[in-house]
């Protein structure tokens, strides 16, 4: 259990600065706020950026809605990578960004069952429907739809499959998609709907099985990023780097689709 818990503790916490622990450098590093489903991919991108440019960024991960509220309250972020388009658009409409933003990736959703669960995973959630019909669905994990785009996508899938009302009393809501993944992998639930990027990590994949949910079952998880008003030159370089070839290759490796 140790390796998985260590990974997910990192996913759930504010990320530690990437690179050398130089206090002066840390003060100067731009702070990048990012959706929780990006933890592994963006940490790798930030490390590649540091190797190539000799400069670093500080990463903070959380639910997109929670990060949006923090930005509105004056949090010192310079770049925001969300899990949808809606939250960045809210910030742009409020005049808190330097640009309208750009879609950098599209995410996907999977249904996951931990080892030993009675849930048989399949892309159309037929196994979950059978458990609901027999009254054996138990607790089921998703991210909180109020703050997490992947939670809204999960809600849309469950409604499309006619399972939302039956499962609603048994839902375990994570504050972010990474907390939902923690709930879905620990064996205290029959499973959950989590981000494909998290299901691909060795620590999570080793804990159970998953099936990718068809893209048409939920609104597209088009993930947009924006430069915030306080963004400096280094933040702008990182913003551009995420749109480049090297970063796109890393995003693809972690299960995202990226613009051409």
Give tens-digit pLDDT for 29-51. 999 999 999 999 999 999 999 99
The answer to whether residue 7 scores a pLDDT higher than 90 is: no
Considering the domain delimited by 2-106+220-253, tell me its CATH architecture. 3-Layer(aba) Sandwich (3.40)
What token pair was written down for 138?
């138990």
Who's near 168: CB < 8 A, 6+ residues apart? none
What per-residue confidence (pLDDT) applies to 148? 96
Place of tokens 């054996």: 136
From 20-24, 40-44, 149-153, the region with the lowest mean pLDDT = 20-24
Structure confidence by residue, pLDDT tens digits, 192-209: 999 999 999 999 999 999
Pick the CATH number of 108-217 from 3.40.50.1390, 3.90.1150.10, 3.40.190.10, 3.30.70.20: 3.40.190.10
Q: What is the pTM of this model?
A: 0.86
Q: Give the residue range(s) of CATH 3.40.190.10 domains in the chain.
A: 2-106+220-253, 108-217
């Amino acid at each position: 259990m140790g390796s998985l818990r260590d990974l997910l503790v990192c996913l759930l916490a504010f990320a530690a600065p990437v690179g050398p622990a130089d206090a002066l450098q840390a003060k100067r590093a731009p702070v990048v706020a990012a959706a929780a489903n990006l933890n592994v991919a963006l940490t790798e991108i930030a490390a590649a950026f540091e190797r190539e440019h000799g400069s670093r960024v500080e990463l903070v991960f959380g639910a997109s809605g929670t990060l949006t509220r923090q930005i509105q309250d004056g949090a010192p972020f310079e770049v925001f990578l969300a899990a949808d388009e809606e939250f960045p658009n809210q910030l742009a409409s409020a005049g808190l960004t330097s640009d309208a933003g750009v879609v950098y990736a599209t995410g996907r959703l999977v249904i996951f069952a931990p080892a030993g669960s009675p849930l048989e995973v399949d892309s159309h959630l037929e196994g979950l429907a059978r458990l609901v019909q027999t009254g054996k669905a138990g607790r089921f994990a998703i991210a909180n739809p109020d703050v997490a785009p992947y939670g809204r996508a999960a809600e849309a899938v469950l409604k499309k499959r006619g399972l939302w009302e039956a499962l609603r009393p048994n839902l375990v809501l994570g504050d972010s998609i990474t907390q939902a993944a923690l709930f879905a992998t620990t064996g205290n639930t029959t499973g959950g709907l989590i981000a494909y990027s998290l299901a691909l990590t060795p620590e999570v994949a080793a804990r159970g099985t998953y099936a990718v949910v068809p893209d048409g079952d939920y609104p597209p998880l088009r993930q947009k990023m924006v430069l915030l008003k306080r963004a400096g030159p280094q933040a702008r370089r990182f913003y551009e780097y995420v749109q480049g070839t090297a970063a796109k290759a890393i995003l693809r490796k972690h299960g995202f689709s990226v613009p051409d």
